[in-house]
């Protein structure tokens, strides 16, 4: 898995580097005299926007011809219980990575929750196909190394949108790579032709897409710029995940002096 | 109070009575003034609760035509949402870009957009209950309060967390922004609108064009939905039944 991911990441990085050099020439940095444009450029924090938009369209195309139809079949053919079983199973496989990051963030209570969940769901939940732990009061939470880095004070960095992976700014891309090392499956299936990790990656993608069929349609329909909306949604939901629901309201922008009438 | 009246009881009964009377009067006086002394947080929570009640009463009113429902939502939104502030915030540094006429149309379009999109989205809710969890003040002047709430569903669907960002105006609280599932709606609009303007050479008109198109599209879909509901297509009926069957499982 690591090799696969490393390979993929290496290729992706080489591609990104190549295209970004090209894009850097094309990216329209604003006229320094135009204050509003400079502010807009900085707020977007997306210096590689032309390249990112290109990859975004590429993914959208792949979604239309491949991912979306697969997700629709998956959603239509499988009964609800089966889909839930798949989700629970995939969630349970993810537990070691979540646990590692809980610990790295010093979140002992959450680490305990994750460990307990893994114990209960692997046994009582029949290899993770069911999720009795939630009913026992151990609700699931997610964690990843991108979030751990954020807790350590690392900024997200400029926005980056990659083929297949989607939104992956440097901090979170690093997180994805590091998380592979926390994942027991990486070591168990080290030499095994990647069937298991790849199946998991694909199934995870299809399941995620299937659960967001209507939501994504609605977002696309009601957006004046789908790319910018997804960028905003990604950043906001990451901020929410990193804060673990403990957002400081004083960090919200100052809106008391806006007058626009 | 008790110890005091016990102490004076044997010698000064009339005095105790007087005290009790005074205390009672004072109690009544304060009770009637209580709403004025409610903390900004309590006030904000009451406001949100009332807003939710009004929304649910619109949603559960029987025998309403869709246009009546939309009108009811429009009244609710324009009364309780600070639309000009949202409109200004969504432009960021470009707030001084539009001409007075463009500004006027832009605010109207935003209102239309919000009414169409959210009246439609809210109409999908049928089996929900609303709970306020608490409130936090932003700043220390009691002018801004964030109320934390949750929508729960009888169907067992995951609850949806909703935060309300309220700002006090002369006539009471108004909503500035709503955070659903971790996403602040006005922030999302801002990120998108600024992007449209910047990618169109810093011009305002393209944003208006996009908004008009978006509203037209929403209108068309609502119409399609209506005609679809009135005369179900023969081919669509079974799949709808199937959906209902899967949902009830």
Tokens of A250: 């004083």
A36/B96 CB distance under 8 A: yes
Q: Which of 238-257 (A) contact B at CB < 8 A?
A: 239-241, 249-250, 252-253, 255-256
B165 occurs within a structural domain = no
Structural domain count of chain B: 1
Give pLDDT tens digits for B107-157: 999 999 999 888 878 877 777 889 999 999 998 788 999 999 999 988 878
Give pLDDT tens digits for B183-201: 999 999 999 999 999 999 9
| B173 shares contact with chain A (CB less than 8 Å) | no
Among the partner-chain residues B188, B210, B217, the one whose CB lies closest to the CB of A233 is B188
pLDDT class of A13 with cuts at 50, 70, 90: low
Furthest-apart CA pair in chain B: how many Å? Answer: 93
- Residue range B26-41: mean pLDDT, rounded: 61
pLDDT of residue B222: 77
A40/B196 CB distance under 8 A: no
Measure in Å the smallest separation between the Cα of B189 and chain A Cα atoms: 8
pLDDT of residue A17: 56
Tokens of A19: 């295209």
ipTM rounded to 2 decimals: 0.85
Tokens 């450029």, located at residue:
A41
pLDDT class of A30 with cuts at 50, 70, 90: confident
B87/A223 CB distance under 8 A: no
Which residues make Cβ contacts (< 8 Å) with residue A83, sequence separation at least 6?
A74, A75, A207, A210
Query: Distance between CA A168 and CA A174 in Å, rounded?
Result: 9
Tokens of B185: 């709606």
B21, pLDDT greater than 70: no
Among A140-149, A181-190, B141-150, which stretch is predicted with the lowest mean pLDDT? A181-190
B-chain CB neighbours of A40 within 8 Å are 92-94, 194-195, 197-198
Asked whether A154 and A171 are in contact (CB, 8 A), the reply is: yes
B133-146 as b/e, with b when 16 or more CB fall inside 10 Å?
A: eebbbbeeeeebbb
| A34 shares contact with chain B (CB less than 8 Å) | yes
B220, pLDDT greater than 90: no
B216 occurs within a structural domain = yes
pLDDT of residue B162: 93
Domain with B70, as residue range(s), is 38-131+187-225
**Residue A235 φ then ψ, to 5°:** -65, -45
- Residue range A145-168: mean pLDDT, rounded: 96
A30/B182 CB distance under 8 A: no
| A135 shares contact with chain B (CB less than 8 Å) | no
Pick the more confident residue, A58 or B29. A58
Secondary structure in 3-state letters for A54-90: HHHHHHHHHHHHHHHHHHHHHHHHCCHHHHHHHHHHH
**Where does chain B show beta strands of DSSP type E?**
128-138, 144-153, 160-169, 172-180, 183-184
| A33 shares contact with chain B (CB less than 8 Å) | no
A44, A47, A232: best mutation site toward chain B, by most B Cβ within 10 Å?
A232
By C-alpha distance, which of A18, A45, A61 is closest to A156? A45
B-chain CB neighbours of A239 within 8 Å are 182
B202/A225 CB distance under 8 A: no
B157 occurs within a structural domain = no
A3, pLDDT greater than 70: no
The predicted model scores a pTM of 0.82
Average pLDDT, chain A: 88
Query: Distance between CA A5 and CA A186 in Å, rounded?
Result: 10
B87 occurs within a structural domain = yes
Q: What percent of chain A has pLDDT over 70?
A: 88
B84 occurs within a structural domain = yes
pLDDT of residue B118: 83
| B192 shares contact with chain A (CB less than 8 Å) | yes
| A237 shares contact with chain B (CB less than 8 Å) | yes
By C-alpha distance, which of A170, A245, A253 is closest to B191? A253
Measure in Å the smallest separation between the Cα of B46 and chain A Cα atoms: 20
A260/B191 CB distance under 8 A: no
| A258 shares contact with chain B (CB less than 8 Å) | yes
B177-213 as b/e, with b when 16 or more CB fall inside 10 Å?
A: bbbeebbbbbbbbbbbbbbbbbbeebebeebbebbee
Measure in Å the smallest separation between the Cα of B199 and chain A Cα atoms: 9
pLDDT of residue B4: 43
B192/A228 CB distance under 8 A: yes
pLDDT class of B97 with cuts at 50, 70, 90: very high
B147 occurs within a structural domain = no
A221/B95 CB distance under 8 A: no
Asked whether B91 and B68 are in contact (CB, 8 A), the reply is: no
A-chain CB neighbours of B83 within 8 Å are none
B245 occurs within a structural domain = no
Among A24-38, A130-144, B132-146, which stretch is predicted with the lowest mean pLDDT? A24-38
B200 occurs within a structural domain = yes
- Residue range B170-180: mean pLDDT, rounded: 92
| B138 shares contact with chain A (CB less than 8 Å) | yes
Q: Which of 96-125 (B) contact A at CB < 8 A?
A: 96-97, 103, 107, 117, 121
Alpha helices, DSSP H, located in chain A: 2-26, 35-44, 49-62, 68-77, 80-104, 108-123, 132-135, 145-151, 170-182, 184-188, 195-211, 213-221, 226-243
| DSSP secondary structure, B71-120, as one string | HHHHHHHHHHB-HHHHHHHTTGGGGG-S-HHHHHHHHHHHHHHHHHHHHH
Q: How many CB pairs under 8 A join A and B?
A: 121
CA distances from B74 to A236, B59, B221 (A): 28, 13, 18
By C-alpha distance, which of B83, B76, B51, B92 is closest to B187? B92
End-to-end CA distance of chain A: 57
Among the partner-chain residues A37, A240, A258, the one whose CB lies closest to the CB of B89 is A258
Asked whether A149 and A105 are in contact (CB, 8 A), the reply is: no
Query: Distance between CA B109 and CA B106 in Å, rounded?
Result: 5
pLDDT of residue B39: 87
Nearest CA in chain A to B137: A249
Residue A126, by phi and psi: left (phi above 0), alpha (psi -120 to 50) or beta? Answer: left
A26, A37, A40, A241: best mutation site toward chain B, by most B Cβ within 10 Å?
A40
Among the partner-chain residues A36, A228, A252, the one whose CB lies closest to the CB of B195 is A228
pLDDT class of B238 with cuts at 50, 70, 90: very low
């Amino acid at each position: 898995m690591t090799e696969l991911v490393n390979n993929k990441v290496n290729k992706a990085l080489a591609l990104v580097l190549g295209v970004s050099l090209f894009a850097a020439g094309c990216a329209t940095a604003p006229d320094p005299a135009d204050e509003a444009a400079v502010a807009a450029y900085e707020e977007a924090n997306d210096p590689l926007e032309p390249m990112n938009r290109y990859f975004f369209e590429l993914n959208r195309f792949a979604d239309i011809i491949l991912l979306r139809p697969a997700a629709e079949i998956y959603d239509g053919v499988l009964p609800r219980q089966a889909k839930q079983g798949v989700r629970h199973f995939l969630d349970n496989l993810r537990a070691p990575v979540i646990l590692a990051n809980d610990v790295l963030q010093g979140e002992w209570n959450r680490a305990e929750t994750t460990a307990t969940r893994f114990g209960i769901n692997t046994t009582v939940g029949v290899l993770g196909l069911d999720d009795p732990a939630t009913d026992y009061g151990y609700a699931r939470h997610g964690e990843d190394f991108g979030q751990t880095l954020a807790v350590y004070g690392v900024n997200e960095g400029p926005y980056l949108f990659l083929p297949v992976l989607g939104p992956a700014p440097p901090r979170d891309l690093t997180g994805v790579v590091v998380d592979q090392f926390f994942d027991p499956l990486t070591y168990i299936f080290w030499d095994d032709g990647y069937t298991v990790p790849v199946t998991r990656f694909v199934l995870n993608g299809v399941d995620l897409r299937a659960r967001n069929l209507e939501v994504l349609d609605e977002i696309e329909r009601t957006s004046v710029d789908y790319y910018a909306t997804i960028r905003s949604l990604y950043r906001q939901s990451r901020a929410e995940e990193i804060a673990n629901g403990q957002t400081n309201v004083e960090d919200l922008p100052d809106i008391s002096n806006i007058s626009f009438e | 109070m008790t110890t005091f009246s016990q102490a004076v009881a044997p010698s000064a009964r009339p005095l105790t009575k007087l005290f009790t009377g005074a205390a009672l009067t004072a109690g009544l006086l304060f009770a009637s003034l209580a709403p004025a002394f409610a903390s900004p947080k309590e006030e904000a929570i009451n406001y949100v609760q009332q807003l939710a009640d009004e929304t649910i009463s619109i949603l559960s009113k029987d025998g309403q035509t869709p246009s009546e429902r939309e009108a009811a939502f429009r009244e609710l939104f324009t009364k309780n949402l600070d639309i000009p502030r949202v409109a200004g915030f969504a432009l960021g540094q470009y707030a001084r870009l539009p001409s007075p006429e463009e500004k006027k149309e832009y605010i109207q379009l935003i209102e239309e957009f919000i009414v169409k999109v959210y009246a439609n989205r809210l109409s999908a809710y049928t089996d929900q209950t609303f709970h306020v969890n608490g409130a936090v003040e932003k700043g220390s002047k009691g002018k801004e309060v964030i109320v934390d709430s949750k929508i729960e569903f009888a169907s067992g669907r995951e609850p949806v967390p909703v935060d309300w960002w309220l700002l006090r105006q002369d006539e009471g609280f108004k909503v500035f922004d709503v955070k659903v599932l971790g996403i602040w709606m006005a922030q999302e609009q801002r990120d998108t609108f600024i992007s449209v303007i910047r990618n169109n050479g810093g011009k305002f008109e393209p944003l208006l064009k996009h908004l008009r198109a978006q509203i037209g599209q929403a209108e068309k879909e609502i119409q399609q939905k209506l005609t679809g509901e009135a005369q179900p297509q023969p081919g669509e009926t079974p799949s709808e039944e199937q959906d209902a069957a899967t949902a009830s499982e």
